[in-house]
Structure 1
Amino acid sequence: MAGSGPWVLDQTLDVRFTRVSVPGYGPVTTRAYNGAIPGPTLRLRGGDTLRLTQVNALPPNPPHQGGHNTPHHPNSFNLHTHGMHVSPSGDADNVLREFAPRTAAEAAAGAAEPRYTTTIHVPADHPAGTYWYHPHLHGATAEQIVGGMAGVIVVEGDVDEVPEIRAAADVVLCVNELKLKDGQVPAFTSGGWMTGIPSTFTVNGTVNPTITLRPGEVQRWRLVAATAFAALRLTITGSKGAMTVHQIAQDGVTFGAPVARESVELAMGNRADLLIRPAAPGRYELRAEAVPGPLMTIEVTGPAVEPPMGLPAVLPPGRPFLDASEITDPHADREVVFHADPKVFAGDFPNAFRMLGPDATPPADPAGDLTRDPSYGLFDPDYTNHTLRLGAVERWTVRTDETVPAFNHPFHLHTNQFLLTHRNGERLHPPVWHDTVGLTGGTPGQSVTFLVRYQDFTGRTLAHCHQLHHEDLGMMQTVDYVADRDHGAGRHAPPPRDGS
């Protein structure tokens, strides 16, 4: 655990195929951090430095014949500190790096397993809260995360010193979504790969573990949705109905006061900090809508805590709110539309998962049928979709034109958290800080509006759909944070798409 002053946390993350015991499921052979699902929890404070040495002990990558927006290099990876406001450049939170394994020739010659270093300086004023880390190499992300490559980062700080929170047990609950067949993760070989394999959900590496509380006891739960494909609408239910929980943070940013809820919605990548205080003994279950069994069992037993432990009335807010009056250029609002076109490509990955809008990647043929275009709105590592000037405050509107409610396109922006002000045109009171926000389909599909200030760090990084199957297939854009005030807003104007 981090000390009272700035320090350096040195941690080795060793990645290799490991036979992992998953209680409630059985043995699994998978890529894992340090032989476990999830990887180790990393605890820091603002001002600290995280130095990770990552060993790639995976076998050589198989040959790849497709384009960059099809799965490839499953045995290469890198590291993303999801939600953290840290540098996206150099050897920090740089998801454009590749940590490659040994080649076949190097392995045959007995070369050492390669080691890669990630060094992240956490700003002194970084919001205290719950974050997570995972690989983010384009083309390999989904397969690796559904094998369990994920871990939790806790940034400690002011909220942890609130007396009622300091008195509560601090419980990290990492929900992993595993795709397993015959005890291993099948290779990502087709666009329909995930649909034929049911998800296995674990909490801290166990299928339906049991946690124990006393009546009147308060626990602080740090819930992490380390899922690739499944959004989680969570409830705690017992024989007398749903248990009320008190949410104190979203995506690592503390609220101004606890919010009582009977359900908590987490898109893929979201986190929620909750205070749990059961009143009566009994057996409860943490359940997610559309997941057949419980994620976790809660046994409330033993002598009651008298008087019951308290809940805080107010909290130190993790970030001050932004206001529309702070928008730097009211004529430069950004718009992103998540859109899928079926049967565009030949082969095993026929569908085009696009991010459209004024900053979409240009089409290969501007005069042709954009619904069939092989480039339009798809990730191009050599194209900058958004040039974002440090210090600017901008408004984004992000929506999906999916019509099926089950389809979810969570929007995730790297490096800078954003303040969600509207959902489906309705103003939120109060607004809520996020780094990832879910957008489900419908008629119409959902939309969100947020404000964001680009702060502190320059460099190229990403905005993308956090349904990781879609990300690997091209539903991603490049953002470039720049300090040059004369660089402009980075607007691009490909031809409009009919109906978009």
Structure 2
Amino acid sequence: MLDQILDVRFTTVTVPGYGPVTTRTYNGTIPGPTLRVRGGDVLRLTQINGLPPNPPHRGGHNTPHHANSFNLHTHGMHVSPSGHADNVLRAFAPRTAAQAAAGAAEPRYLTVVDVPVGHPAGTYWYHPHLHGSTAEQIAGGMAGVIVVEGDIDEVPEIKAAADIIVCINELKLKDGEVPAFTSGSWMTDVPSVFTVNGTVNPTITLRPGEVQRWRVVAATAFTALQLTIAHDHGHLPVLQIAQDGVAFTEPVTLTEIDLAMGNRADILVRGGEPGSYTLRATGVPGPLMTVRVTGEPLDPPMTLPTSLPPGRPFLDERDIAHPDADREVVFHADPGVFPGAFPNAFRMLGTHATPPADPDGDLTHDPAYGLFDPGYANHTLRLGTVERWTVRSDETMPAFNHPFHLHTNQLLLTHRNGRRLDPPVWHDTIGLTGGTPGRSATFLVAYEDFTGHALAHCHQLHHEDLGMMQNVTYVQDPPPAAE
């Protein structure tokens, strides 16, 4: 069992390269503590809410609210979404003003996650997921890494490499704090500050011939990352061994790693020619991290693996067992249609979209159509079945990205823009950029092991808080009727 306290309160932390910041943190650090478990372990997290009382909220449920309440999501893990486990429908509220004045103790909330035996070994992360407060909290640094240890760590070439967390946080800071999320322009009006392990542009060193394993976590709320390790003479190639916590069938050599918000990539980096390299993301000013290759070369150089233990068996279209197994999701935004500070409607349309308030009216301005409704069940998914989903964006601007994230069960990406991937790749979050046409993805998903209520949503968290989210209910598949 891993027993960990996560103390959440406003803390003034020093971000090297930026300065002092007052923000909500886990245990006073950005990111929070790294949690390491193995299949069969129990992750027991006691969370203390030391935040001040929430101010009154007079808007709808799809506007930001209750920024001092939270809960916990173990992003990407195949664990129960019910009870005290990965249940993002819980709310961990702070003391009320009256309770604080009376000297009541700060409330404690318990999360207990049973990690299944055989859970894929890899890199995951945790963050708050209370609807209405998620974006503001993650933009302040409330995120941490979960490592599930297992078979891939025993591959000799991987075991010999230093195991290094590279957690990329995207902070929204103004005058040394996170401004309250009070308008739809909040995201674009406040420039992002990117940190790696809590520092702006830290430096990591490699000896020539040394191999390091980097667990790269895109703990970003708003920005996708196209990562390269750049040098004056080109790019340093890397060997990717896992995506979103699941090992590849074999290592893949890349010069660019595409991570949507919430994605992770396990990569092996080997030091080459001595010199200074930089980890950069397309569209992000300045380097994320400096990589200095220096020192006495290793002779012989450390070796790289040529094979990996299978992270998870693939699914096949032939596993689809019922005729209504195809679902479609379309990410759609209607700009400037609502009065007030949040005029844009961020909708999830397609199969089982939330019904309009006025089916005969103007759907563009409808206040319910395709928006998150906590009382409406968008998808009922039966354990033991395999389904095929196609998700796409109808945005015309390529820069707009609506990553699709499904809780509890991982997604086997089989097609991008109608073209089959060989081999397919396991994900839990799939980035979808705009364009003419917008990007599309087709994946297979098996609903396994756990019943309960969960979510499917856009992982651009500004959009999620404003309603780009759907309810999912996992249920037992009924037994066949008696003959």
Q: What TM-score do you get using the length of structure 2 for normalisation?
A: 0.99
Looking at structure 1, the residues matched to 470 and 188 of structure 2 have their Cα atoms a distance apart, in angstroms, of: 25
Secondary structure, aligned partner of 1:160: helix
Looking at structure 2, the residues matched to 204 and 299 of structure 1 have their Cα atoms a distance apart, in angstroms, of: 17
**CA drift at 1:208:** 0.1
Asked whether the 8 Å contact 1:413–1:435 carries over to 2, the reply is yes
- Are 1:52 and 2:49 matched, yes or no? no
- Are 1:194 and 2:187 matched, yes or no? yes
1:413-462 per-residue CA deviation (whole Å, 9 max, x = no partner) reads 00000100000011101100000010000000000000000000000010
**CA drift at 1:369:** 1.2
Match of 1:417 in 2: 410
**CA drift at 1:343:** 1.9
Match of 1:359 in 2: 352
Match of 1:308 in 2: 301
Q: CA RMSD in A?
A: 1.0
Match of 1:442 in 2: 435
- Are 1:451 and 2:444 matched, yes or no? yes
1:371-419 per-residue CA deviation (whole Å, 9 max, x = no partner) reads 1111000000011000000010000000000000110000000000010
1:454-490 per-residue CA deviation (whole Å, 9 max, x = no partner) reads 0000000100000000000000000000004279xxx
Looking at structure 2, the residues matched to 317 and 145 of structure 1 have their Cα atoms a distance apart, in angstroms, of: 32
Looking at structure 2, the residues matched to 156 and 358 of structure 1 have their Cα atoms a distance apart, in angstroms, of: 37
Looking at structure 2, the residues matched to 241 and 360 of structure 1 have their Cα atoms a distance apart, in angstroms, of: 46
1:427 to 415, 420, 440: 420
Match of 2:342 in 1: 349
Asked whether the 8 Å contact 1:344–1:374 carries over to 2, the reply is no
Amino acid at match of 1:171: I
**CA drift at 1:317:** 1.4
What is the number of residues matched between the two proteins? Answer: 481
Looking at structure 1, the residues matched to 321 and 464 of structure 2 have their Cα atoms a distance apart, in angstroms, of: 30
Asked whether the 8 Å contact 2:404–2:432 carries over to 1, the reply is yes
Looking at structure 2, the residues matched to 134 and 331 of structure 1 have their Cα atoms a distance apart, in angstroms, of: 34
Looking at structure 2, the residues matched to 44 and 341 of structure 1 have their Cα atoms a distance apart, in angstroms, of: 43
Match of 1:327 in 2: 320
Match of 2:107 in 1: 114
Match of 1:399 in 2: 392
**CA drift at 1:332:** 2.8
Secondary structure, aligned partner of 1:194: helix
1:298 to 275, 278, 291: 291
Looking at structure 2, the residues matched to 222 and 425 of structure 1 have their Cα atoms a distance apart, in angstroms, of: 30
| 1:102-141 → structure 2 map (5 Å cutoff) | 102-141=95-134
- Are 1:217 and 2:210 matched, yes or no? yes
Identity of aligned residues (%): 78
Match of 2:55 in 1: 62
Secondary structure, aligned partner of 1:60: coil
Looking at structure 1, the residues matched to 114 and 422 of structure 2 have their Cα atoms a distance apart, in angstroms, of: 34
Q: What TM-score do you get using the length of structure 1 for normalisation?
A: 0.95
- Are 1:240 and 2:233 matched, yes or no? yes
Looking at structure 2, the residues matched to 426 and 160 of structure 1 have their Cα atoms a distance apart, in angstroms, of: 33
Gaps of 5+ in 2: none
Looking at structure 2, the residues matched to 168 and 361 of structure 1 have their Cα atoms a distance apart, in angstroms, of: 48
**CA drift at 1:229:** 0.2
- Are 1:205 and 2:210 matched, yes or no? no
Amino acid at match of 2:344: N
1:228 to 221, 244, 251: 221
| 1:25-44 → structure 2 map (5 Å cutoff) | 25-44=18-37
Asked whether the 8 Å contact 2:46–2:109 carries over to 1, the reply is yes
Higher mean C-alpha deviation, range 273-282 or range 82-91: 273-282
Match of 1:498 in 2: none
1:163 to 128, 134, 156: 156
- Are 1:79 and 2:50 matched, yes or no? no
**CA drift at 1:239:** 1.6
Secondary structure, aligned partner of 2:364: helix
